Amino acid sequence: PICGVSLLHYSPIGKCKPFKVLATETINYKALDADIYNAIPTEKVDGTCCYVTTYKGQPYLWARLDRKPNKQAEKRFKRFLYSKENSKEFIWNVEEDFKSIPEYWIPAKDIEQLNGNPVPDENGHIPGWVPVEKNNKQYCWHSSVVSYEFELALVLNRHADDPGLLEISAVPLSDLLEQTLELIGTNINGNPYGLGSKKHPIHFLVPHGAFQIKNQPTLKHEDLLSWFEGCREGKIEGIVWHCNDGCLIKVHRHHLGLRWPIPETYMNSRPVVINMNMNKFDCAFDSKSLFNHFSKLDNQKFGRLKDIKLDVGI
């Protein structure tokens, strides 16, 4: 799923909408219904959401693309929000109220349907996906982390045998089918993790839920604040709880009035090893591809992600 529930209820700051919101001390009833106390807490990674599913008969990376209302419908929706509290009461005409979308766009799987049409969310958007074609300049950074020729993805994950170690590896796209991941790197969301450089950008895919939080805070507002501010593991953008029923519960630093990005992140406090043994895949990559660059760093270990530098000599 790509849509989640906020952990805490929110109160508006300011007189007019759209307004800034801060988390209150009350846990959202939806979080309680999803049994959050028995959920698995994981690091919320700051990137852009992706999805792997079949396209043209093979596993493909898909980029997040929300279908948004046209100007007229958006004005109607905003007027409605000024007078009503519940956006769910607004009546949409999906066929007429929304901007056109690419031919192969698909709605996200967990979107509510009504009369065969996807129902817009509380913001008036319909979350969905569009396939990342190899030569589409709009999604060039997405393209850099996949090889459709060899059906591989460049993935950052925790090391299977050492939880304190990160690992960069080439993973078969087929192993990622029907998973959502986060694309992070030099040209994504202001690069909060300090990856690569403008001249030699670096990007990876991170599976959602990859980094489980070991020493999680209690769900009290004050304890969450203290954990984010004072705990080494708390130097992250937020927490996503994975509930047994598939529901995702989220809290962001900014919901608690804390800033992000921050100078030193937890992700950049751990060593990382590169595992790019291409012999098992029998691949000959383009010399400029990230796969080729990283294959030449195979078995090398770095103190932190931001220490990895690609240069012309690689």
Dihedral sign, Cα of residue 194, residue 305, residue 158, residue 188: positive
What pLDDT shows up at residue 82? 84
Delimit the domains of the chain by residue range.
5-47+211-256, 64-172+181-210+267-307
Q: What is the pLDDT of residues 169-184, one digit of tens each?
A: 999 999 999 999 999 9
Q: Which residues contact 77 (CB under 8 A, 6 or more apart)?
A: 69, 87, 90, 124
Question: How buried is 1 (Cβ within 10 angstroms: 0-12 exposed, 13-18 middle, 19+ buried)?
Answer: middle
Dihedral sign, Cα of residue 115, residue 117, residue 120, residue 124: negative
The token duo for 136 is: 């589409």
What pLDDT shows up at residue 23? 62
Between CA 165 and CA 301 the distance in angstroms is: 10
What pLDDT shows up at residue 268? 95
What pLDDT shows up at residue 311? 66
Question: How buried is 193 (Cβ within 10 angstroms: 0-12 exposed, 13-18 middle, 19+ buried)?
Answer: buried
Q: Which residues contact 159 (CB under 8 A, 6 or more apart)?
A: 165, 166, 167, 273
* β-strand pairing of 248-252 with 5-6: parallel
Q: What is the pLDDT of residues 49-74, one digit of tens each?
A: 999 999 999 999 999 999 999 999 99
3-state SS of the chain: helix, strand, coil percent to 5? 25, 30, 45
What pLDDT shows up at residue 9? 58
- C-beta neighbour count of 245 within 10 angstroms: 9
* β-strand pairing of 48-55 with 58-64: antiparallel
Closest CA to 153 of 139, 167, 142: 142
What pLDDT shows up at residue 174? 98
Between CA 279 and CA 234 the distance in angstroms is: 38
Between CA 119 and CA 91 the distance in angstroms is: 10
Backbone angles phi, psi at 296, to 5 degrees: -80, -10
pTM over 0.85: yes
The token duo for 311 is: 């240069």
Strand ranges (DSSP E) for the chain?
A: 5-6, 8-13, 20-27, 40-44, 48-55, 58-64, 106-107, 113-114, 117-118, 128-131, 146-147, 152-158, 166-172, 180-185, 203-207, 238-242, 248-252, 272-275, 301-302
What pLDDT shows up at residue 285? 85
The secondary structure of 175-232 as a DSSP string is: GGTT-EEEEEETTSTT-TT--S-SSS--EEEEETT-SB-SSPPPSSHHHHHHHHHH-G
pLDDT in tens, the chain (314 residues): 445 667 765 444 433 333 344 566 788 888 899 999 999 999 999 999 999 999 999 999 999 999 999 999 999 999 998 887 677 789 999 889 999 999 999 999 988 888 888 999 988 999 999 999 998 999 999 999 999 999 999 999 999 999 899 999 999 999 999 999 999 999 999 999 999 999 999 999 999 999 999 999 999 999 999 999 999 999 999 999 999 998 999 999 999 999 999 999 999 999 999 999 777 767 788 889 999 999 999 999 999 999 999 864 54
What pLDDT shows up at residue 87? 75
